[in-house]
Structure 1
Amino acid sequence: MTNIKSSFFCFLGFILLMSTAAIAQEKVVLTDQEKTTSDAKALNIPEGYSKNLHWNLLLDSIGSNGSTISWKSSKPEYISNDGKLLKRSPRKGKKIKVTMTATVTAGSVKTKKAFDVLVAYTDQEFQGYLFTYFEGSGPRSSDEQIRFGASVDAVNWFALNNNQPIISSEKISGTGGIRDPHILRGEDEKSFYMVATDMNTGKNGWAHNPGIVMLQSGDLIDWKHSFIDLEKIYPVKFANIQWVWAPQTIYDPAADKYLVYFTVKYKDDLKLDFYSAYANKDFSGFENEPKLLFSPKYGAIDGDIIYKDGIYHFFLKGNTKDENGKETKNGIRQAIGKTLQGPWTENFNYLDAYSDKKIMVEGSSIFKLNQSDTYILMYDLYTSHRYEFQRSKDLYQFTPTPESFTKNFYPRHGSVIGITVEEAKRLNEKWGGVPENLLKTK
């Protein structure tokens, strides 16, 4: 009898447990009003977009509860109803304010939500270019330093400061050397950010480097600086790190922050992956522990990201391997994504003119010509002291024949930004070397 009772209560408990689970799993049915209210509340246009829009908006069309979302622009000549940026604010006066109104619909119920968006000014009228690089013609102890070059046309280049460093690597780095400097103009148009590989190959060789150097300036002359040793700051994740190479910075409007990304290799792994972290407000370190950004199929180095027409183009130096793991091709290619966090889709079509010729290139960097719709993809032919480039208007197709820079220096992996005449004069007053035709440009 006792066994029968015990079995009965076990069976009853099982039935109650299953009933409770079924109730828990039963989906709560929302009314149409609740659906539209919830989906409207979830809508957001990040501040990085709304305060200074110079990208297309990524607008939701379906809510998480199944409601449909349509949008209407108060000034469709500036921002279309589907979020495309068609026109920028004129530089005279305040930024144009556009109200984007979402209508969230479920059944016959409609809920509206509006967002004000300030359209960015038209691009600054840059008259010249600044090239930041390290050298490749002398001893590594003097080569691995930040240098500047200037140009009026982005083809003919002149070294500033007699091709001497504009700031000592001993002063700004942990190793006493830097490589791969990258410069970015900030969203406020008057701040500048540089990052570089903290590496002294003359002293320490290629076996290991600890991290990166970060610099910030308001005038291109005086630079605040810090260096980030990933192994020491993040010992759990990066205790076994071997290389931290070629950092770069890009503004992320979705987060309203600057994202720093770089190649990482661990000592016990042959893979070369890209990691990233958001810079803190004074650009002296990271807000968070770096995390994996992109893992290319065969690994890659020298990442360079640029945004165009709703797409992020991630240029990199990569390779292709056969089924036996043997490299069959090596050069510059790209991946694309709709957000900086990915996902990234790799394209194995090589862009540089040398991938079929077994001539090594690296350190690619892309920039847009001033007052033009043409982009320059430049790269370092590091075994021959050559620096060449190819042109594109869409970032997919590039001119097949490379062109050469003329220059009075031997740059290694660097980057370029546009500069104004006023900035060129300031640089010339400090270091000299800016070409006269740039200084006299109106």
Structure 2
Amino acid sequence: MKRRTLLSAVGAAGIGAALVRPGTAAAATYNGYAMAYFTESPTMAAANYGLHLAVSADGLNWTPLNQNNAVATPTLGSKGLRDPFILRKQAGGFVVLATDLNGTDWSYQSQYIHVWDSADLRTFTGYRLLKVHSLATHAWAPEAYWDASRGQYAVVYSAVTGGHNVLMVNYTSDFVTASAPQTFFDPGYDAIDGDFVSVNGVNYLYFKNNTNSTLLGTRSSSLNPGSFSIYTGAIGPGRGVEAPQIVKSNTANTWYMWGDTWSPNGRFFCWQTSDVAGGSWSLLGDRAYTQPLNSKHPGITPITSAEMSAMTSKWGAPAWNRIKSYNFPDRYVRHSNNVGRIDAYPFDPYQDQLWTVVPGLADAAGVSLRSVNYPDRYLRHSNYALVLNANDETSTFAADATFYKAAGFADSAWTSLRSYNYPTRYVRHSNYVLRIDPISSSSSATDKQDATFRIGY
């Protein structure tokens, strides 16, 4: 997909160093992260081109806010956004920037970007369009940073000039008006989706090579347009990827780089490194992270614990959960034709993977899993197979639909679900279909992994 240019950065390299953008003074201690995104799903059933927010304590596992609904929606231009980005401003508060594009009509040529101000990521004010050029081309994936040498913010985005996408830059003091555009980075081929980090005085730009859908890293001793040169080989997960977004752990000397698939199949990948200068990134397995439901093209910024608490209080955590398989962590518990199973994310109907975890129907100390899109139906076992059935109010149904949460057999930080009325049997998957089987400490490693899940979002 043809999209955006990112700009974020790390201030210091040591453990616990605050992640800041180039030229920005470190603020209070950061204990969490906020992510901005929009949503799509394979059949586009989840397509929503408003501003969505999620929060995370560790920068890996995310909690969507506002029930994964938009918290702000553009009303100008195309009346839709892609590729939202959050910048903490010099004087406090935030600015949110986004591509002016409602959907996937890549022929839409907007010379503008969406802009909101926000004091706290709980209210969004001063909504406007910012014109960044007068060319017959788009302005995709805007991001910004403070350029101390100029005393202005740099706004970077991708646009076509010379027959291919390059990264363009404008300078502004207020995100109301901006200077004339100039080329920031042009490798000589289609380049989009740039993201910057600054470590020990060196600036690193990662971008998408749009000719083969891989990521590349560049670096420069300055932030001057035209000063960056490539220093890494191509980075990819074996399929098309875009939208690099680099953040630093708030508690360790570790950087994470997120990437998004280019299609509506909305799948994130995550790499890590302890040495950005070395340019070598290790791809994490799906077990290590969980993206917000149906999220696309993230924009991530560090926040304080107070800011994260305030955002969660304002918007609320989801009233539903998703349940991830331990040994097939790209798969989630869902119902399909009333059969309980695990399928690879993403899929539609996406609601099939959403569960309301309620007190157990047979014992409130346990739990029952009620379907979100069929709220009269629960996951229960029948002849040891898990199925989705309507509650008939009988004691047998209540017992079949009640489970006790226990420390995960394969990982005590995860969860295993023990049957209420067959207490030696646990929920597990077999050939991707759910059932209850006897599992114990003497069971095989495979059986233990099959019976281990993560109940999260």
TM-score normalised by length of structure 1 = 0.61
User: How many residues of Structure 1 are paired with residues of Structure 2 in the alignment?
Assistant: 300
More contact order relative to length (CA 8 Å, sep ≥ 6): 2
Contact 1:331 1:350 in 2 (8 A): no
Contact 2:218 2:232 in 1 (8 A): no
- The answer to whether 1:242 aligns with 2:133 is no
- Residue type of the partner of 1:428? T
Q: Secondary structure at the match of 2:97?
A: strand
Match 2:94 to one of 192, 212, 215: 192
Deviation, structure 1 residue 428: 1.9
Deviation, structure 1 residue 340: 1.4
Match 2:84 to one of 164, 181, 192: 181
Match 1:252 to one of 133, 137, 147: 147
| Separation of aligned partners in 1, 2:29 and 2:253 | 14
Match 1:393 to one of 274, 293, 298: 274
Q: How does 1:237-316 map to 2 (within 5 A)?
A: 238=135, 241-266=136-161, 269-281=162-174, 283-286=175-178, 288-316=179-207
| Separation of aligned partners in 2, 1:122 and 1:246 | 25
After superposition, the Cα gap between the structure-2 partners of 1:131 and 1:366, relative to the gap in structure 1 and judged at 3 Å, is same
- Residue type of the partner of 1:315? Y
Contact 1:367 1:376 in 2 (8 A): yes
- Residue type of the partner of 1:400? S
Q: Secondary structure at the match of 2:222?
A: coil
Q: Secondary structure at the match of 1:156?
A: coil
Alignment correspondent of 1:159: 64
Contact 2:273 2:282 in 1 (8 A): no
Partner deviation per Cα, 1:341-376 (whole Å, 9 max, x = no partner): 14434326335343xx3x100111111111332111
Deviation, structure 1 residue 55: 7.1
Alignment correspondent of 2:38: 134
| Separation of aligned partners in 2, 1:258 and 1:146 | 22
Contact 1:382 1:412 in 2 (8 A): no
Where structure 1 has 5 or more consecutive residues not aligned to the other structure, the ranges are: 1-53, 57-84, 90-118, 320-326, 436-442
Alignment correspondent of 1:333: 216
| Separation of aligned partners in 2, 1:379 and 1:183 | 17
Q: Work out the percentage of aligned pairs sharing the same amino acid.
A: 22
Greater strand percent: which structure? 2
RMSD of aligned residue pairs (Cα, Å): 3.2
Match 1:212 to one of 97, 113, 128: 113
TM-score normalised by length of structure 2 = 0.59
| Separation of aligned partners in 1, 2:234 and 2:258 | 11
Q: Secondary structure at the match of 1:429?
A: helix
Deviation, structure 1 residue 434: 7.8
Greater helix percent: which structure? 1
Contact 1:311 1:337 in 2 (8 A): yes
Q: Which segment is superposed worse, 332-341 or 360-369? A: 332-341
Deviation, structure 1 residue 332: 0.5
| Separation of aligned partners in 1, 2:284 and 2:65 | 26
Where structure 2 has 5 or more consecutive residues not aligned to the other structure, the ranges are: 1-9, 18-22, 320-457
Deviation, structure 1 residue 280: 2.7
Deviation, structure 1 residue 229: 3.8
Partner deviation per Cα, 1:226-273 (whole Å, 9 max, x = no partner): 11244xxx54xx2xx22211111011111222110111115xx53111
After superposition, the Cα gap between the structure-2 partners of 1:403 and 1:285, relative to the gap in structure 1 and judged at 3 Å, is farther
Q: How does 1:2-401 map to 2 (within 5 A)?
A: 124-137=28-41, 139=44, 142-170=47-75, 173-188=76-91, 190-201=92-103, 204-223=105-124, 224-230=126-132, 235=134, 238=135, 241-266=136-161, 269-281=162-174, 283-286=175-178, 288-318=179-209, 329-347=212-230, 349-350=232-233, 352-354=235-237, 357=238, 359-383=239-263, 384-395=265-276, 396-401=278-283
After superposition, the Cα gap between the structure-2 partners of 1:385 and 1:333, relative to the gap in structure 1 and judged at 3 Å, is same
- Residue type of the partner of 2:295? P
After superposition, the Cα gap between the structure-2 partners of 1:434 and 1:306, relative to the gap in structure 1 and judged at 3 Å, is farther
Contact 2:185 2:228 in 1 (8 A): no
After superposition, the Cα gap between the structure-2 partners of 1:351 and 1:423, relative to the gap in structure 1 and judged at 3 Å, is farther
Alignment correspondent of 2:454: none
After superposition, the Cα gap between the structure-2 partners of 1:349 and 1:242, relative to the gap in structure 1 and judged at 3 Å, is same
Deviation, structure 1 residue 141: 9.1
| Separation of aligned partners in 2, 1:278 and 1:122 | 22
| Separation of aligned partners in 2, 1:200 and 1:430 | 26
Deviation, structure 1 residue 406: 1.4
Contact 1:351 1:398 in 2 (8 A): no
Q: Secondary structure at the match of 2:283?
A: coil
- Residue type of the partner of 1:393? S
| Separation of aligned partners in 2, 1:179 and 1:121 | 29
| Separation of aligned partners in 2, 1:142 and 1:151 | 23
Contact 2:145 2:155 in 1 (8 A): yes
| Separation of aligned partners in 2, 1:128 and 1:388 | 20
| Separation of aligned partners in 2, 1:431 and 1:369 | 25
Contact 1:304 1:315 in 2 (8 A): yes
